[in-house]
Amino acid sequence: MRIIRDYQFVDPENRGASAAIGNFDGVHLGHQSVIDLARQVEPDAPLGIVTFEPHPRVHFAPHAAPFRLMSREARASRLEKLGVQRLYELNFNAALAALTPEEFARKVIADGFGLKHVIVGADFCFGKGRAGTIDDLRQFGRDMGFGVTIAPLIEQSDKTVSSTAIRKALSDGDPRLAADMLCHWHRIEGPVVGGEQRGRELGYPTANMSIEGLHPPAFGVYAVLVDVLEGPHQGSYHGVASMGVRPMFGENRPNLETFIFDFQGDLYGTPLSVALVEHLRPEEKFDSLDALITQMDADSAQARRILGAL
């Protein structure tokens, strides 16, 4: 997959794609249906995605609470697994936000990326102030020479599949419902960072990961699937993870601490992908370290049973 970030300088081989446009946070079932349409309407064209980095909401409300389901790297990895060949990752800044709908259609879609066909969701808006509608897009396509297809919204159990609905499921401690809408486990990806090594002292050494900038799932303990993405320990494992602020030790910055079953080795700096499978219990503060260890033993046994049944 090729990643193109500047619409003003696009090599000829990266033009002519059939591309879906959107934020694609989570790459859920609705997103996947739009991508499938992009593949179907122009099967001989490169399959593309036009998305934005940072997310427009971050640009307009930089101090808002973290809401993203995945990092740009995790999104790119998921899109590549779906067969995307061209990722047009637009730098969302003041200049891009100021483009009128017609300017966006001409400068970015037609003249910039030279897209052959664009596919958008039924609720798609674009241009300054989100003033452009899908009817505007169709008209611009006729005038500027690119095709336009509108993808219907996807519903599941009488509810529209959306990033908002997935965030709520995760906040409610229901990763399986989130997975149903995503069509894959919700994963937290990133490098292992240094910690206080308290888990090692307790007999439960953990791989610690930051969730900075991401929507925090319900705090507590989860059964997890772990992929070590690089290095000598590359592979897939089972484990149990704690999401939260470690109230036992007075911490206040949320992170993810994962104990990988039957594993020995150094993972500092290694990228992991941790899938949340089931929320076992809320985060809590224990009266003693012995009580904490007893509960960790029970959590591990429960997680092993759940993961063994997958």
The per-residue pLDDT for range 28-76, each reduced to its tens digit, is: 998 999 999 999 999 999 999 999 999 999 889 988 889 999 999 999 9
In the numeric block, which tokens belong to residue 165?
A: 């609905």
Burial code of 121-148, b = ≥16 C-beta within 10 A, e = fewer?
beebebbeeeebebebbeebbeeeebbb
Exposed e or buried b per residue across 168-204, where buried means at least 16 C-beta atoms within 10 angstroms of its C-beta: ebbeebbbebbbbbbebbbbbbbbbeebeebbeeeeb
Residue 287: what pLDDT? Answer: 85
Q: What is the pLDDT of residues 172-185, one digit of tens each?
A: 999 999 999 999 99
Alpha-carbon distance 33 to 28, whole Å? 9
When pLDDT is averaged across residues 197-203 and rounded to a whole number, the result is: 66
What is the rounded CA–CA span in Å between residue 15 and residue 4?
A: 10
Q: Residue 155 has what pLDDT? A: 73
Active-site option among 257, 278, 283, 284: 257
Determine the pLDDT at residue 200: 66
CA 107 to chain CA mean position, Å: 28
Are the C-beta atoms of 182 and 26 separated by less than 8 Å?
A: yes
> Which stretches of the chain are DSSP H helices?
29-41, 56-60, 72-81, 94-97, 101-103, 134-144, 163-171, 175-182, 198-201, 289-308
Half-sphere exposure of 121 (CA within 13 A, CB side): 20
Token readout for 46 is 């490169």
Structure tokens at 309: 């049944």
pTM above 0.85, yes or no: yes
Nearest to residue 263, comparing CAs of 298, 280, 242, 238? 238
Mean pLDDT of 204-220: 94
Does position 248 have pLDDT exceeding 60, yes or no?
Answer: no
Least Cα distance to 173 among 223, 212, 213, 209 occurs for: 223
Domains and CATH numbers, the chain: 2-156 (3.40.50.620), 185-308 (2.40.30.30)
Residues with Cβ within 8 Å of residue 287, at least 6 apart in sequence? none
257 is catalytic: yes
| Residue 158 Cα to chain centre, angstroms | 24
Q: What is the pLDDT of residue 285?
A: 85
Looking at the DSSP assignment, which residues form a beta bridge with residue 240?
Answer: 223, 259
**Residue 295: phi, psi to the nearest 5?**
-70, -35
Question: Count of alpha carbons within 13 Å of 181, Cβ hemisphere only?
Answer: 26
Q: Which two tokens stand for residue 161?
A: 């599949």
**78-96 pLDDT per residue, tens:** 999 999 999 999 999 999 9
Cα-Cα-Cα-Cα dihedral sign, residues 36, 117, 129, 2: positive
